[in-house]
Structure 1
Amino acid sequence: MVLSASHRLRLRTQLLRVIATASSLAALSAMLDPDRTAEAFGVFLVGVNGYSQFYAIYVGVRLATAGLALLAARQGDQPILGDLTALFLLAQPLGRLVAAFAIGLPQGLLFVVSGIELLAGLALLLLRPQGKPLSP
């Protein structure tokens, strides 16, 4: 099935908005209850540095992803912004894949989250406007 350029753009914009919402909610969850969120992902927070690192990743990076996704959704004619959002998403399952060689694949909720990140990132790249390989 071949999608028209306007349909691809509409789907990509909707996906970017979903990504922004999900990333924002994940960051909010981490801010409101860091211990419970960390426990759900198998992370144990110890001391100031442990919490600081958790907030950097689970709040800071998630909010940056959300902001980038929102900006990309508003600037649909600039595919590079959506591509950068996809790279932010795909970097996480890639890092977990590297870790899988040393300690195994993630389990439980983290395995599901990894699959969602992978699918969303690949979908953004597949919905990229055609004919603009390196355009900003």
Structure 2
Amino acid sequence: MSRGWLRSQLLQLVATASSLAALAALLDPDRIASAMGVFLVGVNGYSQFYAIYVGVRLATAMLALLAARRGDQPILGDLTALFLLAQPAGRLVAAFAIGLPKGVLLAVCAVELLAGLSLLALRPRGKILSP
């Protein structure tokens, strides 16, 4: 198994997981919001929820899928990793003000961190700054 193959498989897994997360949020926003500790109030609350939990997740899924298909362009996988790592990074900032997430959100954070760092670790060697 080559690094490129492993990275491609991980990117496909990220695409699948992100798509399923977006679908779950689309089908049952109140349950997903509640599990994440978010309270949806009014049109703006739901709009913001859909923007993040559906729109951004689908964008991440599409980027991961494109990166998996275009292994010759490692920057696409790197951007996918940055999308994944931005979420635990934001939660780390929040941890200083209010504490670490709990329950299912802590598990989600751990998976995002593991997936993002793994994508960067599996980056093709010798292509540090190449597109």
Question: What interval of TM-score do these two structures reach, taking the shorter chain for normalisation?
Answer: over 0.9
Task: Give the TM-score normalised by the residue count of structure 1.
Answer: 0.95
**Are 1:51 and 2:51 counterparts?**
no
Give the letter for the 1:86 counterpart: A
What is the CA RMSD across the aligned residues, in angstroms?
0.6
In the alignment, what sits opposite 1:127? 122
CA distance in 2, matches of 1:93, 1:8: 25
Shift of 1:134: 1.1
Q: 1:117 aligns with which of 106, 109, 112?
A: 112
Matches of 2:32 and 2:110 in 1, distance apart?
Answer: 18
Distance in 1, Cα, partners of 2:101 & 2:52: 17
Task: Give the number of equivalent residue pairs.
Answer: 131
Q: Which runs of 5+ in 2 are unaligned?
A: none
* Separation of aligned partners in 2, 1:36 and 1:113: 16
For each residue in 1:94-114, what CA deviation from the matched residue of structure 2 results, as whole angstroms up to 9, or x when unmatched? 000000000000000000000
- Structure 1 runs, 4 residues or longer, greater than 4 Å off: none
Question: Partners of 2:129 and 2:62 in 1: how far apart?
Answer: 22
Q: Which residue among 4, 7, 23 is the counterpart of 1:9?
A: 4
